Amino acid sequence: MRDTLFERYQGLQAYVGWTEDDARRLASAGPVLAAFFTDVVEDFYAEIDRHEETRHVLTGGASQQERLKRSLLGWLHELFGGRYDVAYVERRWRVGHRHFEIGLDQAFTNAAASRLKRRLAETVDRVFPGDSAAGRAIKVSLELIIDLDLAIIQDAYQTEFVRLREETERAARLAETQQIQEALAISEQALRAVLQAAPCMIVILNREGTIRYFSPYAEELTGYAAEELLGADYFSHFITSAELAAAIRAELAQTLAGTPTVGFTNPIRGRDGVQRWMVWNTQRIADYQQEPAVLAVGQDITALRQAQNRVVQNERLAAIGEMMAGLAHESRNALQRSQACLEMLALEITDRPQALRLVDRIQNAQDSLHQLYEEVRDYAAPIRLELGEHNLRRIMEDTWDNLLVERQGRIASLVFESSPGIPKARVDARAIEQVFRNILENALTASADPVEIRVRTSETAFDSRASLAVSIGDNGPGLDAETRTRIFEPFFTTKTKGTGLGMAIAKRLVEAHGGSISLDASAARGAEIVVIVPRDGPLEARS
């Protein structure tokens, strides 16, 4: 059991990208942060006292709470201890086992872990002030280790759930008296309560992939009601790739053969079309509704993957920024000398029109090169948002007014197809104006006169958050297949003088707000871009 449990833990470490660098980083930060651990513990138990659902499990009075505070303090020291061996994993496992015994609502386990993450992240920010690379790296490692602890606690909870289920099945087979039947009913009720309270996606599938059980948390996560999915095919609702479906079916077959799956990661698609990443553990159920079945317990790791991707992307952009800063510095003097020489040359050849045209072409080429330097530098620069409450329609109107020079001599109109009464959003007005400007400039370039640009604003939900959507469509010829696929890639352009960074910059700015930008493939004419931003701003700014 000890070795199998530790192997599971090592597998989870590999899936989330945990390395020895993370262990060393936390171990080195521990002594510096330890002075603040007592404050974190006091905050943790003060929050427990404020909620009846958590306070009721502390039945031992003040002495029990003091003992638990010492235990949590020890847990924090272990968290930054840098030693994550078999004994460490076993202690986490016992926490999940104890949660099952006392009937603790697992929603509060996740909420408590989230509170600890936040308090520890604030502590890291206090010790490492400013936007330091060391502080960011420590917070990423800290989030990984706490998520790994949660996974082990959930695994223990799931194992106890399976054990209870199998005991219930054995009781059913042995039911020969009314007394046993009553005991079975009580066990079933307890099992149902566990399923209802579990803060993870729980699905029971038969051999063909038909859904036999769909938990309340799964309903909340995916947007589907259990009633509409029971008896339906799991793969047609949640899996978009034939290759991925084949891989999952292989995991189901392996589980039915008696080998559980631990830490299998794959994306699922919810009712709203949004993709979420899940990590799964599975167990075989010998008899569920008179046939063998697979119990699958999934944890949503979308936020974790996004955080990891942002770290990697920011590191890449920082490297590009350093390179471009150095390149611009070295080349600026050369460009200035070249420009001065061209201006002097132009004075010498005023009587030679053809030669002057060549000089103009060289000067235009220099201007294009300088513009490219500036745009690449802007693309790679760190994004720092100045957030405020703004009306997106008003920003769109201001952007259109500021394009007066670009519209000079054109027949172009901006048409709003929705009412002006849209709620405000917490955004950086200048950043959103740059996004709108890049989209409108593309529309003006692609469309022939008379240009009609249609704008629709609406309320929507994105990533389970109240958001605002702005759809911007033109009456141009539309986009070919390659452009549809690559429109947001850096340096991809269909313009003869474009740098290919406009839409890539727009994508970075929108994602920095916690939103999304996409191409509406259903547009009947022209091209249509949809920008979505959360109404209350990016999560990072809120925390």
One domain for residues 342 and 399: no
| pLDDT > 60? residue 183 | no
141 and 80 belong to one structural domain? yes
Residue 218 shares a structural domain with residue 229: yes
- Domain co-membership, 226 together with 255: yes
Reading the block at residue 355, the tokens are 């030669």
> The tokens 């235009």 sit on which residue?
364
Rounded CA separation 520/429 (Å): 24
Structure tokens at 18: 């945990």
Q: Which residue did the predictor score with more confidence, 352 or 161? A: 352
Instruction: Select the more confidently predicted residue: 42 or 481.
Output: 42
Question: Same domain for 156 and 213?
Answer: no
Select from 169, 187, 210 the last residue of a domain.
169
* In the predicted structure, residue 326 carries a pLDDT above the cut 80: no
Range scoring the smallest mean pLDDT among 28-42, 128-142, 318-332, 444-458 = 318-332
Which pLDDT belongs to residue 336? Answer: 75
Mean pLDDT of the 112-121 span? 84
Assigned domain for 181 exists: no
Stretch among 33-42, 54-63, 314-323, 380-389 having the lowest mean pLDDT: 314-323
| Range with the largest mean pLDDT of 87-91, 189-193, 470-474 | 470-474
Coil, strand, or helix at residue 352? coil
292 lies in the same domain as 202:
yes
Give the length of the chain.
543
Return the exposure string of 408-424: e unless at least 16 CB atoms fall within 10 Å of the residue's CB, then b: eeeebebeeeeeeebee
- What pLDDT, on the 0 to 100 scale, is given for residue 150? 85
Phi–psi pair at 530, nearest 5 degrees: -115, 120
Nearest residue to 541 via CA among 465, 435, 427 = 427
Task: Residue 26: give the domain boundaries.
Answer: 1-169
Query: 155 and 15 share a domain?
Result: yes
Domain annotation covers residue 507: yes
CB 212 within 8 A of CB 192: no
pLDDT for residue 275: 85
Assess contact for 90 and 9: CB atoms under 8 A. Answer: no
**Please, where are the H alpha helices in 224-301?**
226-229, 234-238, 242-256
- Among 11, 123, 31, 120, smallest CA distance to 77 is for 31
More confident residue, 486 or 230: 230
Q: If you search the block for the tokens 């077959």, which residue do you land on?
A: 253
Same domain, 96 and 160: yes
Nearest to residue 366, comparing CAs of 393, 339, 390?
A: 339
Considering the domain architecture, whether residues 11 and 155 belong to the same structural domain is answered as yes
Range with lowest mean pLDDT among 28-37, 95-104, 392-401, 428-437: 95-104
Residue-wise pLDDT for 487-537, tens only, equals 887 777 776 566 677 888 899 899 999 999 998 877 667 899 999 999 999
pLDDT at residue number 64? 75
Starting at the earlier edge strand, list the strands of the sheet with 451-462.
412-416, 451-462, 465-473, 528-534, 516-519
Q: What is the pLDDT of residue 57?
A: 62
We report the CATH number of the domain holding residue 408 as 3.30.565.10
* Residue 242 sits in the same domain as residue 147: no
pLDDT of 177 higher than 60? no
Q: What confidence score (pLDDT) does residue 543 get?
A: 46
Mean pLDDT in residue range 431-454: 92
Q: Same domain for 284 and 317? A: no
- Structure-block tokens of residue 439: 């989209």
Domain count, the chain: 4
Q: Is 219 a member of any domain?
A: yes
Q: Find the range with the poorest average confidence among 34-48, 149-163, 305-319, 428-442.
A: 305-319
Question: How confident is the model over 68-116, as pLDDT tens digits?
Answer: 888 888 888 988 988 999 888 888 888 877 776 766 666 677 777 788 8
- Cα separation, 153 vs 143, whole angstroms: 15
Q: What is the CATH number of the domain that holds 123?
A: 1.10.490.10
Kind and range of the H or E element at 462? strand 451-462
Residue 368 has pLDDT above 70, yes or no: no
In a domain, 180, yes or no: no
Digit-coded pLDDT (tens) for 228-251: 999 999 999 999 889 999 999 999
Spatial separation of the C-alpha atoms in residues 470 and 392, rounded to whole Å: 8
Residue 5: which pLDDT band, with cuts at 50, 70 and 90? confident
Say if 192 falls within a structural domain: no
Q: Please give the single-letter amino acid code of residue 496.
A: T
Mean pLDDT of 128-153: 86
For 261-295, write each residue's pLDDT tens digit. 999 999 999 888 888 899 999 999 888 888 999 99
The CATH number of the domain holding residue 216 is 3.30.450.20
In the structure encoding, which two tokens stand for residue 151, read together?
Answer: 């996974």
Identify residue 79 by its one-letter amino acid code. L
On whether residue 260 sits in a domain, the answer given is yes
- Statement to judge: residues 255 and 346 lie in one domain: no
Locate 271 and state its tokens: 């009712």
Intra-chain end-to-end CA distance of the chain, in Å: 39
Structure tokens at 78: 């272990």
Q: What is the mean pLDDT of residues 149-159?
A: 83
Would residue 186 count as lying in a domain?
A: no
Integer CA distances (angstroms), 238 to 19, 37, 350, in order: 31, 42, 70
Q: Which of the listed residues 122, 149, 169 is the one where a domain comes to its end?
A: 169
Indicate the average pLDDT of the chain.
Answer: 83
423 domain-assigned: yes
Which of 302, 334, 369 is at the close of a domain? 302
More confident residue, 473 or 338: 473
Q: Which residue did the predictor score with more confidence, 207 or 150?
A: 207
